[in-house]
Amino acid sequence: MTICSNCLDEFPDKEMYIVGKPMMWESDEVGYYTPFCKDCTMKDKEAYIKIIKEPQPPKKRKTTKKKK
Ligand SMILES: [Zn+2]
């Protein structure tokens, strides 16, 4: 589980977003990365600069991996 740094609830790791936040208040530069839940990425857009990583959809992809 991962704790959202905004609402402090716990979520499954695979559902977490990683967002970039400024090191200093009102800075436009990403200073560090922190986990955010989906709700917070949508509701608190001003709490972070940008989304660094989105959770992967749980679909199985057809890739080059072959099952035997
Ligand atoms: Zn949250």
29 inside domain: yes
46 inside domain: yes
Which residues are near ligand 1, the ion (C-beta closer than 5 Å)?
4, 6-7, 37, 40
**Confidence class for position 61, pLDDT limits 50, 70, 90:** low
Residue-wise pLDDT for 13-57, tens only, equals 999 999 999 998 778 899 999 999 999 999 999 999 999 999 987
Residue 47 lies in domain: 2-53
pTM here is 0.77
In angstroms, the CA 7 to CA 26 distance is 20
58 inside domain: no
| pLDDT computed for residue 9 by the predictor | 97
Number of domains observed in the structure of the chain = 1
59 inside domain: no
Distance 35 CA to ligand 1 centre (A): 8
Distance 40 CA to ligand 1 centre (A): 4
